[in-house]
Amino acid sequence: MDSSLRTDEGASYSKALGNRQVQMIAIGGAIGVGLFLGAGGKLHQVGPSLIFSYAICGIAAYFVMRALGELVLHEPSSGSFVTYARKFIGPWAGFAAGWMYWVNWAMTGIAEITAVAIYVHKWLPDLPQWITALIALGVLLAVNLLSVKVFGELEFWFSVVKVLAIVVFLITGAGLVLTGADIGGTPAGAHNLTGHSGLFPAGIGVALMTLQAVIFAYSAIEVVGIAAGETKDARKVLPKAINGVVWRIGVFYVGSVLLLAMLLPWPFYSGDESPFVTVFSRLGVPGVGDVMNAVVLTAALSSVNSGLYSTGRILRSLAEKGEAPSFVSRMSRRQVPYGGILFTSVAYVLGVVLNYLVPKEAFDIAIAIASLGVISTWATLIFCQLRLRQAALRGELERPSYRMPWAPYSGWATLGFLALVVVLMGFSDGAEKIAFWSIPVLAVVLAVGWRSVGKRRERTPAG
């Protein structure tokens, strides 16, 4: 059987996700709390220069998605980049990629849970944050444990809400800018881009430091690749889903940040609430701020939902090779990898505890460490595509018709950009520096972990 038709890790999964659900999972993965909450704090920090950060990172995300598309069309698999890392780099790379992805989602879950607590605080200021987070986690855990169809349906509607909200914001925001509308005593317009110390009010150096946070904002775009193993007619559905993510990156992310910067002077934003809530609340329309707060709350819940889904599949892929505890490979009668989902939920509970101990710092620390997982995942996908291309040139396999544009130059340029983002983290004075110095710690833990599974690795053939 042609290797491009194999779906090893996805073989025992239910093919329950249809075109409608996969399309919306792909779109929803590209709209998360990094934009809905994180953009406010970064706008306050660096002003309109954040637009350039989103544009540059968007280009990198475009190439990552195209690389993912080529790999998925070569071999659809719920093991996703873990499968590809094993095949095109080596067993150790699959191990490292899988666990770094888990670190990403463990930390992302903490950030999202923090966001849930911040949003609910607007309505229930006396309710402790940890209670809100625990209730949300309990509901989403139950959804993921029921069946992939229930997950897909919930994520579909989560994504519908997010996409509609962004579209409404883009249309409304454009109208407000074009008419120079008064927003809480401040006129909207392009003048807000340069009228408060210019496009780079904090300097180019500080603006570059936001790249890590923006990379985090783009995280979860790869979930569509993990869904490949549970998708009907993956080779037909996934290219459309991936292409949809690519152009929506430009419209939703760059367009939204551009409008935010024109609607209000950047000092009006803060990290204490969503910038979208800030804008709509200042419009003075009764209840509109609350509606937007409900929308961004949905975005946070959606991300936790996706995290439980994707890590459950990745951990099972690792466990099948003896590279994770055997418990995480367990499947329910409904073909749900409940072991991996429960394993990740434990980390999310620890996030609830972290919110209780250091609620102010929890979000920034979590997204900084999570971004390392995002960068490692993106780098893995790019490098695997480079290896796939080399293997095709040697005549060892046939490349799919859906390919990475301008390869291999686009791949090497993207890898260089990702390396630059990591280096810049070391020069930061905030949570990014904590994440940077966690790199050697993570490297040691991964090396020790890989060594500890050596005997099982020898008994298990490479995938």
Q: What is the pLDDT of residue 3?
A: 36
Instruction: Look at residue 370 and tell me if it is in a domain.
Output: yes
CA distances in angstroms from 339 to 13, 17, 99, 229, 336, listed in the order given:
14, 21, 15, 18, 9
Instruction: Look at residue 7 and tell me if it is in a domain.
Output: no
- 226 class by beta-carbon count within 10 Å (0-12 exposed, 13-18 middle, 19+ buried): buried
Higher pLDDT, 44 or 109: 44
Higher pLDDT, 192 or 136: 192
Instruction: Look at residue 83 and tell me if it is in a domain.
Output: yes
Instruction: Look at residue 85 and tell me if it is in a domain.
Output: yes
Distance (Å, whole) CA 428 – CA 417: 17
Distance (Å, whole) CA 415 – CA 298: 33
Instruction: Look at residue 6 and tell me if it is in a domain.
Output: no
What is the mean predicted confidence (pLDDT) over 309-317?
80
Q: What is the pLDDT of residue 59?
A: 92
Quickly tell me which residue has 């996805």 as its tokens: 10
Quickly tell me which residue has 């930390």 as its tokens: 107
Q: Compute the radius of gyration of the chain from its Cα atoms.
A: 21
Q: What is the pLDDT of residue 227?
A: 66
Instruction: Report the range of poorest mean pLDDT among 88-92, 337-341, 375-379.
Output: 337-341
Higher pLDDT, 182 or 220: 182
CA dihedral 135, 137, 141, 143 (to 10 degrees): 70
Kindly report the CATH number assigned to the domain that includes residue 169: 1.20.1740.10
Instruction: Look at residue 53 and tell me if it is in a domain.
Output: yes
pLDDT at 16 over 60: no
pLDDT at 129 over 80: no
Instruction: Look at residue 3 and tell me if it is in a domain.
Output: no
Instruction: Look at residue 10 and tell me if it is in a domain.
Output: no
pLDDT at 85 over 90: yes
**Total number of residues shown for the chain:** 463
**DSSP string of 75-116?**
---TTHHHHHHHHHT-HHHHHHHHHHHHHHHHHHHHHHHHHH
Contact 183, 283 (CB under 8 A): yes
Instruction: Report the range of poorest mean pLDDT among 290-294, 358-362, 401-405, 457-461.
Output: 457-461
Structural domain for 57, as ranges? 16-459
Any bridge partners for residue 183, and if so which?
Answer: 186
- Total structural domains within the chain: 1
pLDDT at 256 over 90: yes
Percentage of residues in the chain with pLDDT exceeding 70?
88
Q: Which of the four pLDDT bands, split at 50, 70 and 90, describes residue 17?
A: low
Q: What is the pLDDT of residue 25?
A: 63
Q: What is the pLDDT of residue 9?
A: 45
Distance (Å, whole) CA 384 – CA 87: 8
Q: What is the pLDDT of residue 432?
A: 86
Average pLDDT, the chain: 84
